[in-house]
Chain A
Amino acid sequence: TQLLEQSPQFLSIQEGENLTVYCNSSSVFSSLQWYRQEPGEGPVLLVTVVTGGEVKKLKRLTFQFGDARKDSSLHITAAQPGDTGLYLCAGSNTGNQFYFGTGTSLTVIP
């Protein structure tokens, strides 16, 4: 089993603050995905990164894939209550098998 560790596990911040979530592994992945999951729903894909060092931006969210393709980060600028949710990273080498992190539960307080 390829383990993906996310940190922090829980995060509670005030609206308008910035935050970074980390996803680390001892394994190399050919691609890494970030999802957001809300209570009672399935995960929803935010982004896929495939190149070491790649940076992708999605409005106030910035995703980075580590140069060695073992780690990734998600940075949120000026967090809003609508950003509240469980953030999951998932790594894959084959496009068939996926290994998910345990998640970061984010609460943004208005």
Chain B
Amino acid sequence: EAQVTQNPRYLITVTGKKLTVTCSQNMNHEYMSWYRQDPGLGLRQIYYSMNVEVTDKGDVPEGYKVSRKEKRNFPLILESPSPNQTSLYFCASSKTGLAQYFGPGTRLLVL
């Protein structure tokens, strides 16, 4: 089954404790992206990647890092999480950059 998977689905952590949210797709897509969704603000793009070893900033990259060492994986790294990074995070992938397939989401709470 073609899908985008994210882990973990739910995470509670404390300020400053480094964490990684993994994202993997099995559709051989070149394009991958991370978004955060907050009430009243909608989905905002954090980082995107056009292909392996190619990443670029989206609208709200501050406080986040990404890497794209393999085509199928695009982890999101929070080196020192803060409470304002509490949010619902989505990973997406696409072959063309238009028809994006989204993962199920990761709900993060930073205390």
CB-defined contacts of B101 to chain A, threshold 8 Å: 45
Nearest-neighbor residue (CB-CB) of B50 within chain A: A96
Contact of A99 among B59, B98, B105 (CB under 8 A): B59
Residue of B4, B42, B50, B103 with most chain A CB atoms under a 10 A cut-off: B42
| In the bound complex, CA of A10 to CA of B107 (Å) | 23
* Contact call A96/B48, Cβ cutoff below 8 A: yes
| In the bound complex, CA of A43 to CA of B42 (Å) | 12
* Contact call A98/B42, Cβ cutoff below 8 A: no
- Is B11 engaged at the interface, CB distance under 8 Å to the other chain? no
Known: A99-B59, A101-B42, A102-B40. A48 touches B99 (CB 8 A): yes
Size range of the interface on B?
A: 20 to 34
Closest CB in chain A relative to B61 CB, distance in Å? 11
Closest CB in chain A relative to B48 CB, distance in Å? 6
CB-defined contacts of A90 to chain B, threshold 8 Å: 43
* Contact call B105/A45, Cβ cutoff below 8 A: no
Contact of B98 among A1, A42, A48, A103 (CB under 8 A): A48
| In the bound complex, CA of A100 to CA of B46 (Å) | 12
Known: A43-B90, A88-B42, A102-B40. A95 touches B105 (CB 8 A): no
A-contact bits for B68-111, CB 8 A (1 contact / 0 none): 00000000000000000000001010001111111111000000
Closest CB in chain A relative to B4 CB, distance in Å? 8
CB-defined contacts of A101 to chain B, threshold 8 Å: 42
- Is A44 engaged at the interface, CB distance under 8 Å to the other chain? yes
- Is A31 engaged at the interface, CB distance under 8 Å to the other chain? yes
CB-defined contacts of A100 to chain B, threshold 8 Å: 35, 42-44
* Contact call A45/B100, Cβ cutoff below 8 A: yes
Closest CB in chain B relative to A51 CB, distance in Å? 13
| In the bound complex, CA of A102 to CA of B50 (Å) | 25
* 25 pairs from A and B in contact (CB 8 Å cutoff): A33-B98, A33-B99, A33-B100, A35-B102, A40-B104, A41-B104, A42-B105, A43-B43, A43-B102, A45-B100, A45-B101, A48-B98, A88-B43, A94-B97, A95-B98, A96-B97, A97-B45, A97-B59, A98-B33, A98-B45, A99-B45, A99-B59, A100-B44, A102-B40, A102-B42
